[in-house]
Structure 1
Amino acid sequence: MTGFTRVLTVLLGTAALLRGENPRLLDGGTLELDRWRGTLSAFTSQWHTLQPASAKQVFDLQEKESGQLQRYRLNLPGAAPGTLTLALNPTADGGGEFSGKAKFDRPSAIRFLCLQSALLISQYGGTAFEADGKLIRFPEEFNGEEIISRKLKRLRLPTRNGEILFEGDFFLRIQDGRKWDGASYGMRLGFVPHSGTEIGKAEITFRLRSGKAGAFGPPLGSIVRPAYVAAPGEQWKPFTYHRNVEKGSALDFSARLDAPAGKYGPVIAGPDGRFVFRDRPETPVRFYGANFVGDSQLPNRKQAEELADRLAAFGFNAVRIHHHDNEIYDRGGRNPSRIDPERADRLDYFLACLKKRGIYYTTDIYVSRRNIPAAELGTAGAIATPAEYKALFYVDDAVYADWERWAAAFLTRVNPHTGLALKDDPALITLSLVNEGNPASWWNRTPRAAKLYNAAFKKWQADHPQGSFAEFLSGLAVGRYRQMEKFLRGLGCRVLLTDQNFQNGIALAADRSHYDFVDNHAYWDHPRFAEKPWQLPVLPNQINALKSRPGVPGRLFPTRLFGKGFTVSEFDYANPNRYRAAGPALMAGYAAFQGWDGLFPFAYAHSLNAVTNPGNTRGFFDIATDPVKAFSQRIGAQLFLAGGIRPAERAFAAVVTEPFRKGGEAEAPESFCDLGFLARIGVAVTPDAHEGVGALIDIGAGTPPSGRAVPVFRSSEKLIPDLIAAGQLPQECYDAAAGRFTSPDGQLELNRRDRTLRITAPGAEVLTLGPKQQLSGRRLSVDNRDAFAVFALLPVDAERIDDAHRLVLMHLTNTQASGMKFGNDKLDRLESWGRTPFLARRNTARVSLRLPGGGWEFHALDTAGKRIARIPAQAQPDGSLRLEIDNFRHPEAVFAYELIRE
């Protein structure tokens, strides 16, 4: 025990320390007092957060004394090396003197060195903080990003047991995270000077102490909210979640698959860029199916057969094999190919099972292979993490050479269960070359990489004196892509290729124009972690995607390039967002309307345990452990693959002939994103790439072609009204006040104000609405009662509802696991995943069905598709049938009903 610790114990008492009532300096540069935590943070030029726990090369810990001192060697990207010391000294009143001192070897431009914390909106909204004597209220409704941003001497903040007083010299910024669909206010206690200028030294000092509410000034309000624990009761009912459905049941969509995969030859790009089979080029083809991550894709043979049947029952006709490279990598170096033969054989057999059932696959060459020894990388040295690999990939030829060796081994090895190497297998539809490898996202994640990029940029500038750093990175990305493409074609691999499947920047169009097709990723309510990455607690925003602008899929619309295919190889509406049941229909409906080629929900599972263990309830993304996703993804697959949603006739292209004009990070304006709910949209990167579009849209990233063969409209908040006024869109398709978007053919309607979605297509009808709302389609109408819900009418034995003799009516609300714990009843702080049995949220509704001729009988189903009860229906004078449904009426909660034509 140090002398400091002995003094601290005498002053404060062991019990007080255990109760956490006094400030503590925790590992990873985190200051804590009364459950408020501020973690040492810095930001890259793209605003990626760097913290000691996750960026140990940036914050190289040199010395530590528990609870009082941390000393780091500092290697901030883009800055000179330096040192940083954090110290906390106790004060007699139970508080502490905190200081942070950073010193750089030479003056450097840095971005916000600070202590960062997240303040939950559900707790802090409506309360106040004091800044230098002025009370400022945390807004309950979003009214702008910035709440405060200036230097302070005094700050009071409400906390769990009262309030904290900060007195010293610091910069305070508080911003409203709802700007980025977040659930918290972002608070930063910044070093002074805090950002931007050339800084040689930066310092933060303050005294902090806690007290009861009102101890240091006028009342600020209470942030205490009661915890919420999911339990059976009036609103929640336990049920049995069956992972497999009964063969031939109304939940079995396997008959829709056209087996075996590859029977029509490989997938190629048609004249308009859309995917077609080589031997069936007249018919565009779409793909829908889940990602498999980690060892979930390495089942034994019995599990592989069962799992392939399970996926076929979803109606999935494709999967994405992901993070496989790390799973089959031979770390022992026993095999010259560096591929573990036993683990690879498990993957091979699983792929063969999928192919036999008519399920295609896509994958990546590099995703997350890690802990690669120096002996394999030569001059590059050992690489421990995917971040290092991706950062070095574009500037270190030794790392690129490793990529080539792995690609050759992975693609040319013959699968003994199909008799084909992956490169020759027509069931392989596409390849991504480096997953989420955009150099703009990785170049400065490690000091070594940042140094190499900066040196290469200076050399590049000699020949491009007016060129920007974004253009330099683009040149690196395109150059590497051409190398990779040439290498793969040299192997005899003819599959469609893509790269940089991440982010929505306009400038990426320059790079993506070189690829065979464009791929991208999007998430709604992606987990944000309160303390440690990928560990609870997590902070879901609990925002309904139907009300958000531009939301998902809205933010993806402008990233499609006209003349090229488009896929989304990762998307999800993450658990525990209570509205996630609507996500697959929202994505699939508008993807079909846009004429996209593939959708891949992320993910079926992240582990084999999630696939096989019925007691597993964990997972932000996994379909396997989330009953709502298991049902809603069936809706998504049916809508996208066989729903009959027609691609929009009208198309509008943004002019992106100067993709770097607005910088490397600019995205398309929201007004242009909105247009994607009424027409096909994308970008044109060459002056003549506007064939087939009704008009060009000027988004400030290029000059419209002279002569104006088609009209040009400027993207502003008047864009859609201007297009309507010019006769480019029908008058009734848009209501700005309601946020209503009705597709010109009437098949899709999104209402952001009412938070409703209506999809009426020959092969599916979907109505999504809140409590006490009514909505009608062509065959289905709903008077909803108690909770947000998704209703879907899908044919079982035919392509079209009108031709079916069997239909399934899905009724989805929310599910939680028993004992799932949240920090409050707003459900925006998840603290425990809970256990089985799962619980369903209650809902009742009156459903009216206008079905094709003949009598119909109705059966409630369990989650395996087994009939558990006959349901009475009332014939109405207009010929419709009325059902009063209550998902709690039977011993098992009911998510689906089978309709049989007599």
Structure 2
Amino acid sequence: MRRFLILFLAACTACAAWAAPRITPDGEILCGPLRLRLAWFDGEWHMTGQERGTVFPAPGYPLEQPELFELEGTLRLFHDAGELRLTERVELLPGALKYRAALRGKPGMPCRSAALILELPVAEFGGKTLKADGRPVTLDAVSPAAAYPELRAERIAIPLPEGELVISGKLTGYLQDERNYGGNFYSLRLLGTPEPGAETAFSWELRFDGIETGVTLRPADKAEIFPVDISRAANMAWRDETAGDGKGGWTDQGENDVRDLTPGRQVFFDVPFELLDPGRNGGKSCMVFSGPDREYLLKSARIDGIGRRGERLYFLHALSWAPEDVRTVATVEVAYTDGTAERLEVKSNRDVCNWWSRVRADNALIAWRGRNPQSETTLYLSGFALDPARTVESLKLTPAGNAVWMVAGISIGGEVPALRPQIRRKITAGKEFRPFEQQFEVEKDSALDFSFLNHVPAGKFGRVVAAGDHFEFAERPGEPVRFYGVNLCWSAHELTHAQSDLLAVRLARLGFNSVRIHHYDMMLTERAQNRLEFDAERLDRLDYLIARLKEAGIYVTIDLYTTRIPAREDVPDIEIRSLHDFRAALPLVPSVRENFKAFARKLLTHRNPYTGNEYRREPAIFSICVVNENLLPAPWKEHPQLPALYRRAFADWCAGKGIAVPAAFDDSPEFRRFLLDLQQQTYDRLSGFLRDELGVRALLSDNNNGESMSQTPERATLDYTDFHGYWEHPVFIEKPWSLPHYYTQESAVRREAAVPRLGMACRILGKPYMITETDYCFPNHRRGEGGLLLGAYAGFQNWSGIYRFAYSHFNTAMFEPAACTMFDSVRDPVNLFADRIGALMFRRFDVQPARRSVPFLFTSDDFPGYAVYPADYTRAGLLTGIGSLDASRGQTFAGLEGPAVVTAPAGKAAGVKTVVAADDKLLAGLAAAGAITLPRNGVYRSDTGEITLDSASGTLRVVTPRTEGFVLPAGQAGKGELLELAAPDTFTSCVLTSAGMEPLAESGKLLLFQLTDVMNSGITFRDSENTVLEDYGTLPLLLRRGRIGAALRRGAEKAVKVRALDMAGRRTAELPVSEKAGRWHFTLDNSITEEAVLCYEIERIF
């Protein structure tokens, strides 16, 4: 093993000035302003540094003695990139410091670099000149953009205030100015020496010479801190058995809890907490305070007998149902023994954050990380200043009611030094990303022209009808049809006629056969001060757009209410201030209902001059959502008039049932039942108006947001089920819909295809199912996986419609290049091409539907509040067909005679062989009944054998006669029947598919997609893990470079040609191809041309 030796030589006077070295429990070495630590860069250049929160010492470590520090443990990499074994030994000798360290990972673990980083603060080193083997390298004090040469030397000298620091040995490394990424230092990165053997391993050996004789190694100073006893105030346990039953643990959400939290003394960032064992405290371990949907929890808590002084009061805590902005979520009244008191405010997104996210805020450090069956989980550490001269007698904790506040522990004592500011990351063109120009239009008859999938015009075969579990055309009975579309929002409907002509043709060539007209209603009325008068120009543009879409074979689905705020004159008995007010008032305020009807009548009876049809008679408008996202636990409490109306209506409902009004009012199961009845009643009224008074024949739906089991009864009465589901929807940290945003940067595959999986159970079996809003949101670096995930699992579950949210919110962005934003795919080539994959797979029925279905039976007696479906039931959707039935209405479907059904709570089902309870043995019960094959080690294989998801490795494999597709993290290879892929050098979604309707084995033209990542120039994140977005950046767009070796099994063809395509489908370059051992070999390289390459055309010459 080649090792290098680093000698730190410094004069004694310099050592005295800079003090003795200190070492943290995580192994960082601090000496004056210098900081020395290890860092690992994974296959996508994500850095994990040696610091608090990433280093997890083994039992008994670190070993700390005056002259020796030893550490063994684990370095947990960000973004689920794995774990490394970390060893470190620091030995103090007379006048010297010896340092040895190693990082070792599994064989083949992706690694761009492993480095020992020495941080040189700009304040001390700006303008100073380093010498590498005598060659001067001056650190630019002014410009962070200065370039520095690669360092290959045997001696590097760094000037100190007195003397110099000399690093000697066989050195390889480089300098980087961290001011470009929000830091205030230069980093000298010395690369580790690769160790031989199967492991991915690097090692370092250093010697610091010139350390002042007689000093001792000393740990970083630790404050004296004492845990506070909260045992008497605790009201919940760490673990919850039954969701929504008002008792048990955590937030009363069943398995969505923190059962993996270890009781006992736990230390986070040098702050000790005593985490209670519920088995020794009457089943209670933590304090959980009342808030939205959990009004029955603690209203306040008082903790007496503290008797301690301290500079800080520390909380280990988190929020659920958290506000999206910064606001007070709780107060803490601190009473001192001298009779004085002070009041502390706990603010969301400053002091504490949502437990399902991992946002580091100003006073909220990510202290504990866990995982339950539904999500990764987080507890935060916060510190609040106290008067250290006074003794704390008691604390009173009071929630504000706008969030559920979970307190796991409290401590009091000295101040813990704040962590250093996070290193911001700005992405620019360079070795990782390259700039390119976006293209909008698709060349006619090119390999990327998918308009052949559409018949023209839309409505050619009559109206769309629901036929059992699918859609079909009235004049083509027995032939299922599916829709793959996009949302057009706000001014995206407001197009010139020429723009509509262009857009309709473009969307058809992109593979879409449907558009959801969304967020349009306010646009029609706002110029008339929201009176029921449509803007003539905007209505004309909407008419023309719909006509052109129809001509291109594109069907329309539309909402009758999204964002429109009616004028006070039109609803005189209540003020509607927001869309939330309208939706909450609609069930109980007659004038609001009449306003809804008046708008619907005016729109649906309007005759489109360009089609000649009224909207209600237009076969191309095939479906209507009555009210968008109208789940009734809406914020009706926030309106000054609505609470009284709801109380009165609830009292009438109770009287009709012959029951007393519960004292808890809206905190009772009865009230939740009342809301569901009210929701059903409202839909019946409005749908009855549309059907009976207006004669609307389009399919109707409603209740399209939420994953609650209790939504089943109403959804069972709809013509089709509609659902909304997002992967990486932005979390707004300070202000709704404003930067900064939080993203996990996780792959949905590693979360067991959370989208679309979490929506699978919401389907009503025996009815069509559409997801009219879904997105894998920018700037998630892995969002290219979405097309394959949707195309595979929506087909497997036999859904009927998929709609990206959104194609665009703005008209200009559809015709002029613009930087990517959180939703709009027109700006984002990754999502645009992911939809090419999804559209082909889904519309061609490439994936076989599941061979059987396991229903979830819901009866009127099985009322689970607003609890979501058990995670294990949704996981069954990766193995076989799932969906819900409302047994209270006698609902049935063709697959009910299958091997098993699931009920919650455990119950019986007439005529069913096996009934499986929705508990922690659910999957085992289904396997015992022969309904599924149990997943093993995170590997889920569909009962058709076509889809294999490995959540542990983060890979997805889909192999069908027309398509073979793979989601591959860096370092993971893939193999299908025809296509074999070497391990890519970055996260890649790679899909081979027929360019037409033929199977792969018979097709003369194939498409091979290679999706990595696209970012904006200068996009800036608050942290090195890219989880907190601060600035979207600008044009030009940047494509993440990617290479991947591919081999195609040879068939009857004599030769193949592989050509790179631009975004328009034009051929731009031909790749070299060789033949060996019955396979055609070539290398995909998305930087082979100046244009962005996201797809290749493979021509097979027979």
Same fold? TM cut 0.5: yes
Q: In structure 1, what is the equivalent of residue 368 of structure 2?
A: 139
Secondary structure of the 2:806 match is: coil
Question: Match for residue 604 of structure 2?
Answer: 411
Within 5 A, what are the aligned runs for 1:272-287?
Answer: 272-287=468-483
Residue 586 of structure 2, aligned match among 393, 398, 418? 393
CA distance in 2 between partners of 1:418 and 1:191 (Å): 67
Superposition map of 1:752-763 within 5 A: 752-763=951-962
**Structure 2: how far apart are the matches of 1:255 and 1:223?**
57
* Matched-pair identity in %: 31
Q: 1:332 to 1:218 in 2, by over 3 A?
A: closer
| TM-aligned CA deviation for residue 856 of structure 1 | 1.6
- Name the SS for the 1:423 alignment partner: helix
C-alpha contact (below 8 Å) 1:638/1:764 kept by paired residues = no
1:302-348 deviations in Å (ceiling 9; x for gaps): 111111111111110111000111111254269x9521111011011
Name the residue aligned to 2:556: 361
Aligned partners of 1:166 and 1:650: how far apart in 2?
A: 62
- 2:517 corresponds to which letter in structure 1? I
2:568 is matched by which residue type in structure 1?
Answer: A
Question: Is the alpha carbon distance of 1:819 and 1:310 closer, same or farther for their aligned partners in structure 2, counting shifts above 3 Å?
Answer: same
Q: How far, CA to CA, are the matches of 1:581 and 1:415 in structure 2?
A: 38
Which deviates the most, 359-368 or 438-447?
A: 438-447
Aligned partner of 2:620 in structure 1 is: 427
- Aligned to 2:956, the other structure's residue is in SS state strand
3-state SS of paired residue (2:952): coil
Map of 1:226-625 to 2, 5 A cutoff? 226-270=423-467, 272-329=468-525, 331-332=527-528, 338-370=533-565, 372-380=566-574, 382-464=575-657, 465=659, 468-489=670-691, 490-549=693-752, 551-614=754-817, 616-625=818-827
Deviation per CA, 1:103-124, whole angstroms, max 9, x where unpaired?
xxxxxxxxx9998644998785
CA distances 1:185-211 after superposition (whole Å, capped 9, x unpaired): xxxxx97333789xxxx9xxxxxxxxx
Of 274, 281, 293, the residue aligned with 1:46 is 293
Name 2:907's counterpart in structure 1.
Answer: 703
User: Is the Cα–Cα contact under 8 Å of residues 584 and 635 in structure 2 kept in the other structure?
Assistant: yes
Contact 2:329 2:401 (8 Å CA) reproduced: no
SS at match of 2:769: strand
- How far apart are residue 273 of structure 1 and its match? 3.5
State whether residues 558 and 624 of structure 2, in contact with CA within 8 Å, keep that contact through their aligned partners in structure 1: yes
Distance verdict in 2 for CA 1:871–1:347, change over 3 Å: same
Superposed displacement of residue 702, structure 1? 6.9
Give me the whole-angstrom Cα distance separating, in 1, the residues matched to 2:703 and 2:612: 31
CA distance in 2, matches of 1:122, 1:116: 13
- Going from structure 1 to structure 2, the CA distance change for 1:363 and 1:146 (only over 3 Å counts) comes to closer
Partner of 1:165: 385
For 1:313, the aligned partner's letter is: R
CA distance in 2, matches of 1:797, 1:87: 63
Contact 2:722 2:769 in 1 (8 A): yes
Please say if residues 292 and 401 of structure 2, whose CA atoms lie closer than 8 Å, have aligned partners that are also in contact: no
Q: 1:460 deviation in Å?
A: 1.5
Q: Provide the rounded CA distance (Å) in 2 between the counterparts of 1:561 and 1:220.
A: 54
Please list the CA deviations of residues 563-583 of structure 1 after superposition, one character each: whole Å capped at 9, or x if unmatched: 211111101111111111101
Q: How does 1:58-137 map to 2 (within 5 A)?
A: 99=343, 117-118=352-353
Q: Give the match for residue 28 of structure 1.
A: none
| Residues 236 and 846 of structure 1, relative CA distance in 2, 3 Å threshold | same
Deviations 1:661-690 (A, max 9, x none): 222x11111111111111111112125626
CA distance in 1, matches of 2:354, 2:718: 42
1:549 CA displacement: 4.8
Mark the CA change 1:511 to 1:86 in structure 2 (over 3 Å): closer, same or farther: closer
Aligned partner letter, 1:503: G
1:194–1:43: structure 2 CA closer, same or farther, 3 Å change rule?
Answer: closer
Task: Figure out how many residues of one structure are paired with residues of the other and give that number.
Answer: 743
Quote how far apart the aligned CAs of 1:870 are: 1.0
Residue segments in structure 1 that go unaligned for 5+ positions in a row: 1-41, 49-76, 78-83, 89-96, 103-111, 130-136, 150-154, 158-163, 169-189, 203-214
Larger radius of gyration: 2
Distance 1:85 1:432, change over 3 A: closer
- CA spacing shift, 1:860–1:47, aligned 2, 3 Å: farther
Aligned to 1:874: 1074
Distance 1:289 1:156, change over 3 A: closer
The structure 2 residue matched to 1:672, chosen from 858, 862, 873, is: 873
Range 314-323 or range 476-485, more displaced = 476-485
Task: Describe the SS at the equivalent of 1:768.
Answer: strand
Q: Scaled by the length of structure 2, what TM-score is found? A: 0.64
Superposed, 1:734-813 pairs within 5 Å as 734-737=934-937, 739-813=938-1012
Cα 1:606/1:716, change in 2 over 3 Å: same
1:764 offset after TM fit, Å? 2.0
Contact 1:113 1:194 in 2 (8 A): no
Q: Is the 1:113–1:195 Cα contact (8 Å) retained in structure 2? A: no
Aligned mate of 2:1058, from 852, 858, 865: 858
1:661 matched residue in structure 2: 863
Cα 1:191–1:545 shift into 2, 3 Å: farther
Query: CA deviation digits over 1:8-45, x for unaligned, max 9?
Result: xxxxxxxxxxxxxxxxxxxxxxxxxxxxxxxxxx9863
> Which one of the candidate residues 898, 905, 923 is aligned to 1:720?
923
Q: Decide whether aligned partners of structure 1 residues 800 and 141 sit closer, same or farther in structure 2, where only a CA change above 3 A counts.
A: same
1:365 and 1:422 map into 2 onto residues whose CA distance is: 12
Which residue identity is paired with 2:847? Answer: I
C-alpha distance in structure 2 between counterparts of 1:585 and 1:114, whole Å: 34
Give the whole-Å Cα distance in 1 for the aligned partners of 2:469 and 2:939.
31
Q: Distance in 2 between matches of 1:230 and 1:115?
A: 26
Match of 2:397 in 1: 192
Partner AA of 2:399 in structure 1: H
- Larger helix share, 1 or 2: 1
Superposition CA RMSD, Å: 3.2
Deviation digits for residues 702-761 of structure 1 (CA, Å, limit 9, x no counterpart): 73224x4432222344433433333333xxx54332x11111221111111111111112
Map of 1:10 onto structure 2: none
Measured in 2, the distance between the counterparts of 1:784 and 1:662 equals 46
Shift of 1:888: 2.0
Cα distance in 1 for residues equivalent to 2:893 and 2:387: 60
- Distance in 1 (CA, whole Å) between partners of 2:364 and 2:594 is 57
Q: Which has the higher contact order (CA 8 A, sep 6+)?
A: 1
Could you tell me how far apart the structure 1 residues matched to 2:732 and 2:726 are?
15
CA distance in 2, matches of 1:114, 1:768: 34
CA shift, 1:798, in A, is 3.1
SS of aligned partner of 2:677: helix
1:685 maps to 2:881: no
The structural deviation recorded for 1:289 is 0.5
The residue type paired with residue 535 of structure 2 is D
Listed as ranges, the gaps of 5+ residues in structure 2 are 1-288, 296-320, 322-327, 333-340, 389-394, 406-411, 661-668
